[in-house]
Structure 1
Amino acid sequence: MNWRKSRHEYYKKSNSARDNVASKQTVASVDKKNNASIAVDNPIRSQSEDTLGRDKSARSFADQVMLLDTSEGIVVGVLGAWGSGKTSFINLTRSCLRDYDIAVLDFNPWMFSGAEQLVEAFFIEISAQLKIRADLADIGKSLEDYGEAFSGLGWLPLIGSWIERGRATTKVLAELLQRRKQGVSTRRSKVHRVLASLDKPIIVVLDDIDRLTTQEIRDIFKLVRLTANFPNVIYLLAFDRFRVEEALGERGIPGRDYLEKILQIGIDLPIVPMKVLNSQIFKSISAVVEKIKDPGQFDEDVWPDVFLEIIRPLIRNMRDVRRYAAAIHGTIRELDGQISLVDVLALEAIRVFLPDVFGALHGAVDSLTSTSDSYGRRDDPPHLKQQIDTLIAVTKREEIVRSLIERIFPAAQRHVGGSHYGAEFRNQWLRERRVAHEEVLRLYLERVVGERLQFFLDAEKAWVYMADRDAFETFLRSLEPERLEDVVSSLEAYEDQFRSEHVVPTSVVLLNLLPELPEQQRTMFDLDPSLVVRRIVYRLVRVLENPQVIESKVREMLPQIPSLSSQLHLIKIVGYLKDAGHELISQNSSKALEREWRDRVRSASPEALASEKELFSILLFTKREVDENEPAFVVPESTGVTYALLRSARSEVRSQWTGSRTVRRSPRLEWDSLIEIYGGEATLHQRIEDLKASQPDGADDLLQLAEQYLNGWRPKDFNEA
């Protein structure tokens, strides 16, 4: 996978003006950090993890903070949208502040709720952090005493409007505090005096304020307002300005006005330049993919469009990058290369950032993967278009869903005014592990390999060996016999990749396996196993194109195929028989192959004939197609041959009543054709009697059915043509 080339393709397709947003110095600083790993939505904690080049800004900010006049306390803000890296920036700043040897304390408001608990916990937490430092222990004790004065004052200052001003607030507080046995003012003066004596300020960090509830945000700012004017105390608050302003606003009073009364200085984190963010996305994906043994096929031609139109619009900041990287890591590892990597990357972006759309995918599998049989929509079931419309309506990001359909689900393009894709594309999508194929999409959504996909996965392995007869046969025989037919059928997905070197080894193996395919109960619509094999062999042989070459290869194959019925299948495929032949060789060559084959039938021993699974078809073809100058064929007087002939002449008529799913099965014998093969019903009767006398194991039902025919019974709904 060439991620560097992928990045080049992205930049080539992007608007050149946007590409130049980031400075060369910034990009260079990012490129030096190729070994940085993306944490699981965790902020960075050191300069070595800084992938955005913000360390310099953090150091400048730290220097600026240390130059502030803290004689009456200061409230400083680090402002930025969710996920913009506020915590990471504070951590970088914290690292720089260590050079000044000052105390940086943390208070996590998420641990507490309600004004009373918040106030009490604040003083306990901060005083505890101070007391572990010998030089600040006295301050810690004083602050703890001061905090006790507010124990039980959870209502502070909730009487009236919470934004109380001027004399009203002073009067209320005074009346309340007088009720304390020991006044607050005495303790406050002590704290003030001890803090004023410090030669260095104390910094108190309150992060993630914007993630609190509206009431909790209000409580935090009440707490800050209560203690903000202590000397040598710097509050460092991190929050999304718009979220906090919204929470602080009340009764026509803008929250911004209140915020400005508390916040003395603030720094707005810059938006990450597009080129830098793109670089981080690419590197985070690479960091994940390079650690996984088989991440799946990667289509470099599709990737730039998928990235630009689906993934990139959903990722706004570094937090999104980390969330996305964490998501794709688990999914790619779990899927183990079974799905196209580009498809997985696109769908994971939908899963993480548009969960409503992702949830709707389950109900739209049919519409996303069903191909079109015509260029008009009249043949499409109405529910397919309805599913797509529902999928698009789930989100306001309609353009991304449309791009998802166009780039990932081509079969559904016709429902949004795009191209039509026919069934001939399904094999390609399956080979490429595209979620455009229903089985692959269900694997992604359900994490369970469906039966049809399992057959294809085995066929995919078999296809690798098709030029090597021994390896191909060894692999197929290693499978459970019940799976063989479906695996062989799945080889059709590689039809357009069949080559001349595949023809002989693959055809010989498949035709030799045909008599061994186990009998299975079938529905009305299942293909006969011989038809499954014949379809693959026909698609192989026609690759040769030249009639003389085809005849030569057929003659090469026939001696390698012991079964007379399998030989006949091959001859029929290339010949001129009605409803069977594909006329791949000359008519004379076809007749010669058939004549030579009939000679082999006449010379076959009774034991060899009795071993044939399709003996009925062999003998009927021999009887009907014989030339005038050929000797007549006489069925050997062998109970083994009779048994094999009756067994292969037995069939089932499958039918269903209207409105019922039950399949009725009725046994039949090709009675008239059996009479034709034996040259008369008397001979057939005698052979059946001889078979009954031999008492073969397991033949009771077959003999009972034959006895019914001998007694004149004929099925009314069966035409013995």
Structure 2
Amino acid sequence: MFDADRPILSSEQDRLNRSQFAKYLARSLLDHHDPESLVVGLYGGWGSGKTSVLNLVLEELNFAASNMLDEDKPIILYFSPWSYSGQDQLIYSFFRRLSSTLRNAPYFENSPRIIHLLELYVSFFTHTPIPKSLRSKRNFVEKITFQEKEEIYAWESGRDLTLVKAELNELLRQQKHKIIIMIDNISRIKHEEIKQIFQIVKSMGDYANTAYLLAFDKEQVVRAINRIDGSGGEELIEKVVQLPFEIPPILQQDIENILADRLNEIVATVPEDAWNIEYWADIYYSSLKYFFRNCRDITRYVNTLNFGYSRLRDVVNPVDYFALTAIEVFMPNVYAGIRDNKDLFTDLLDNVYQLTSDEIQKDKIRCNEILARDDRISRDLLLELLMRLFPRIRHIYYPDIAFYHSDSIARKLRRICSPDLFEVYFRLSLQPGHITESEFETILSLASDADAFDQALTRLNQDERISKFLDQLDSQTLQKIPEKNIPAIVNALFDNGDLFPQGIFGMLSLDTPMRIHRIIHGLLQRFKNMEERFNCLQNAIAKATKSIFIIVHELTEQGREHLENEDTFLPIEFRDIAPDQLNLLRKLATSRIAYWGQTERLIDHPRLLPILYAWKNWGSEEDCRRYVEKITHTDKGLVAFLRATLDEAITDAMVSYEKNPSWETYLQNIEDFIPAHLLENHAKILFEDNYFEKLREKEQLALMIFLDLVKANTIKIIPKTAP
């Protein structure tokens, strides 16, 4: 299974021994007793683990707070500007999050006044009205003298910005609570927004009793500010950040230990007797280990290796493939140079073969050009690696030094230097999607063995060639398949269909579910009577464990043959199955859906909505509604349900969040399963909570669009949309 590139959340997961550093950082924030604002900088490059360190700091702050009196506990705000766009939106969102955090803090003295002043303060900068609920209360005389306006702006208050901030600072200075603001992902936002963050910290948000912890790539931030102002990036950071810290460098030994742990899982899959520990040690310690600089490097490498080696492990030398994959991931131009120059790397036939001096010189020029394409590791280290993988390269650079090479042994060991095996190592990067006629016929012949054919489709899907295979299968080939092999093909399509790339349905193209329906229909027509077709479909549905939507889609299409108002309507004698058989298959399908619903597999399905409609319309509507009610009580289930029911609106909003009147119709998708008002409060809580910033973009849009459509009143602003 691929390892997600996610930061660690607690010290229990700390493999780089950074917990002590995080504790020191947390104490620096807590032990700052000067009432003036403190700004701490956490510098680190891409992949250095800034977010992980912030999580460790947060863990330590929470632990320290657990040992304090309530009135002394720090108030902590974690803010990720990456979740917002636009400078005005960034300022507004930051102060609104700060206001919300302070408002929810227990034992916070003068809270209403501080919140009002904060809202007044931000209104000066963002030109947004002060929310009604956060305005200062009028006395009796003011209530009868003044008419309440719908919108009140800061400049209408008669207060000066400087005086507002001064009063705000004085009230905050009287607090025992220290306000700690952690800002992450600064390096990921636009250049203008990066500068905006530093302006917020330096001038807008430099309140008394506050401490900022800013995590960013210093070099990238300097470049961003210099690109806007021409220069001054370094100086601005020095003015803002009072206490800079560099992420502790990752020790090479820690990297090697983590890499070894990750590789052990793959090495365990190596065929018996194929792993040569001495050869691996030569490759690894001489050059390979120098490719890895941080944990993200390991993740990229292991993910790529996991993907490729599982498909080629029976035909390649594992050590050679591990080494080649490092070149592929970190030095792709060198990888392409090797792939495209087989004669340069493999033509050494035996130990008596001699090149002329002119030939050696020409080959050296070619090889030098390839070596110069990337600089991830030094030229000498790369050359050392290539000489170990390809003995011919050693002969080019050291023609006078004798060494032994046997092509027959290389072939036996499945070495990449063997001319017969060279292309195999690049199979996944050559002619993507291509399936030769002989390979196609071989795969079809496997249908005599259901398990073998199922595994063949799995490999085609992993190789990203399944769409091409389906294209070739959807043809006259269907008429040539032995009738006894048809059930195995239908079974495999039903069991794997959801795992295939789904494609896009259009005027001139078919998506994968429709392509599979055409294939199944063509195969079913090979049977002479409905009973055989019914039995084939029934067995396939009963045996399918990895897919569910493809079954729903197939039965939906089968149903269209039975509807007189559809252009696909057919007289009963021309249909694949009879009406009573269709109903039986639908009942079987809903039992499978209900089984999926017992685990999170159904929630996680990308085609959740049509599956729920099938359950509701073909099976027990009560059971379906009960399931929806159950999952929407959980955060994950609610987000998944809203994303499924509002999918088309989300797709529109991904391009431009501009409200479309037609979105109102999507509320019916929700109402068909559960009253929308029952979800409103839960959705508001998620939207206003820090949990929202951890969601993916489509999940965030699902909550925003839903709350927009039901016209919910939220503390956190929903981005305005054109009516």
TM-score for the superposition, normalised by structure 1 = 0.48
Decide which structure has the larger Cα Rg and report it: 1
